[in-house]
Structure 1
């Protein structure tokens, strides 16, 4: 085989020609290369060496996950592309049988399919027609610098069907009778001005509903306990509850600290049927710490993180049971 032909669609962006198409694993193994450090054969050497574990991990992910697909990799032809047009913007590109296409983005996806994925699959690509080395490196830097992981709040929001704690947190946000109504950032978006994220509230609910007596209850009973608990909290500290900007109470550290405390108080505050909260009993405990200053310059100034939440919980606990 003296050359390899690939079917493509030709496009032009900013006076730069690109081609969109796909290739087989066998074609990819011949045509593609990763321009990694240390440089070889007069190459640039601007990428990290390939990690075989990452490549194999991608192949396993592709095989085992129903939501896994081979997404397009980004390539650059190191010589002007030979395009044979069949109809408008559709045709073939022809390459010699050697490593002539630099992988700008998708090194481990390509390697994973070529080396570790045993089933037949096509590798989709977007190919630049011989862009300059400086631009190729700039694209690589931009793609990797701007990549952002999906927030865990977004992950829990999308996976809520299989997660009871996420469902409770989301219902607290959407229920007009809930003190958390429209106060939870469900997908981790910026600029929402909502004091707590879904991830943080979910973590707090795990602590709040930790008691064995609670875990055996149904969803609606657990939700009732959660909404009643936070309803009492908002009544005990009304100013701190509405003072979102300067209050620690509705931020992750406050919700976690109170949930840890609540996890131990709730078994002592069950109603007669042992299936919900006796709010008056809970108030008897929390009123003992009602003078706590939750503002950012108040009693817990400088506290942060899970360790800070543990310290706050311990202080509240000692205040309640000091007698």
Structure 2
């Protein structure tokens, strides 16, 4: 089925690098492109799809306000200074028909929408300008003929981590080859986790979020950085189980200070269940979990660790206006960790 045809296109490259250059009229942009989303945005001017061939999407949530601003820019200034072009993956659904045999110029017959790799706000701006401002124009595009969905995601991440754009947590969500990112995602997704539903994976914090995925992943890595773990092969599930048990223990020992489901971030009174507390206990895990780890059975003696934590209960001032007032992030976390370690050793 053909949904549109684009004339006056140019083809370059071969095989996986085959790509097309041209212009898409604003009247058909919505029909011939789509956003392969990780987070759905109901007011996005672009067409959206969350799953293709069993694979979940990766694009962050669009900001319709940015799309409207771009559309208004088009209305005022035209497209003379619109750069860069919209970057697409045609998914082998766009057919290049040369003007003559072996010609690199020709037309593209579109059978299904291409995924927008980079440029959903520009594309949405063209759509907004056409639909609501009656502004007809053309958007320049570069379209890969047929990247795999995995390669498409990697291209997106490469583009957006080598320029200002994608938040670190969204990149961590995409870079699943790093085990700490995978375990961080498990902590967010698994209902048995003390961190279930409160880790932000897109970079845009919502009211229910307490932590950014990038910060969680960094401290997951820190928790297992003791030398005793370096020569041991641990699965993601084993690391996840260890962390769940360790943090569940902390939750049990400090019930008043554990504000995971009680207060919005701005109203929290204690440092325990925010970034400072995450860092503090991760530093403690780094220095102490290894002493309770049996390298033969790959088991952590949490009874022993629990007794060590008992020495800390009632000895640390977690109040934001207390002993560690004004000390946040790494500075505050390291200070609190130092005091925890002193109490454990007493």
TM range (shorter): 0.5 to 0.7
Q: Distance in 1 between matches of 2:341 and 2:173?
A: 32
Q: Distance in 1 between matches of 2:22 and 2:304?
A: 59
Cα separation, partners in 2 of 1:72 and 1:195, compared to 1, 3 Å:
farther
Q: CA deviation at 1:315?
A: 2.3
Partner of 1:206: 221
1:317 pairs with 2:338: no
Q: Distance in 1 between matches of 2:18 and 2:286?
A: 38
Deviations 1:179-235 (A, max 9, x none): 112221222223242111111111111110112322423212222211111111111
Cα separation, partners in 2 of 1:302 and 1:206, compared to 1, 3 Å:
same
1:281 pairs with 2:296: no
Q: Distance in 2 between matches of 1:67 and 1:149?
A: 25
Partner of 1:262: 285
Partner of 1:301: 325
Q: How many residues align?
A: 218
1:154 pairs with 2:170: yes
In structure 1, runs of 5+ residues without a counterpart are: 1-8, 10-19, 26-61, 75-100, 110-119, 129-146
Cα separation, partners in 2 of 1:211 and 1:272, compared to 1, 3 Å:
closer
Q: CA-atom RMSD, angstroms?
A: 4.3
Deviations 1:77-108 (A, max 9, x none): xxxxxxxxxxxxxxxxxxxxxxxx9434239x
In structure 2, runs of 5+ residues without a counterpart are: 25-78, 88-103, 107-121, 127-162
Q: 1:224 aligned to 241, 244, 258, which one? A: 241
Q: CA deviation at 1:24?
A: 5.8
Cα separation, partners in 2 of 1:287 and 1:72, compared to 1, 3 Å:
farther
Contact 2:9 2:21 in 1 (8 A): no
Partner of 1:177: 192
Partner of 2:83: 105
SS in 1 for 2:81: strand
Q: Distance in 2 between matches of 1:184 and 1:190?
A: 9
Cα separation, partners in 2 of 1:177 and 1:102, compared to 1, 3 Å:
closer
Q: Distance in 2 between matches of 1:307 and 1:183?
A: 23
Q: Distance in 1 between matches of 2:283 and 2:21?
A: 43
SS in 1 for 2:205: coil
1:250 pairs with 2:273: yes
Q: Distance in 2 between matches of 1:275 and 1:265?
A: 15
Q: Distance in 1 between matches of 2:18 and 2:311?
A: 53
Q: CA deviation at 1:272?
A: 8.4
Deviations 1:91-139 (A, max 9, x none): xxxxxxxxxx9434239x9xxxxxxxxxx999xx99x9xxxxxxxxxxx
Q: Distance in 1 between matches of 2:269 and 2:203?
A: 20
Q: Distance in 2 between matches of 1:213 and 1:229?
A: 17
Cα separation, partners in 2 of 1:164 and 1:272, compared to 1, 3 Å:
closer
Structure 1 runs (4+) greater than 6 angstroms displaced: 20-23, 66-74
1:239 pairs with 2:256: yes
Q: CA deviation at 1:274?
A: 4.3
Q: Distance in 1 between matches of 2:7 and 2:328?
A: 50
Q: Distance in 2 between matches of 1:121 and 1:288?
A: 75
TM-score by length of 2: 0.51
Q: Which protein shows a greater Rg?
A: 1
TM-score by length of 1: 0.55
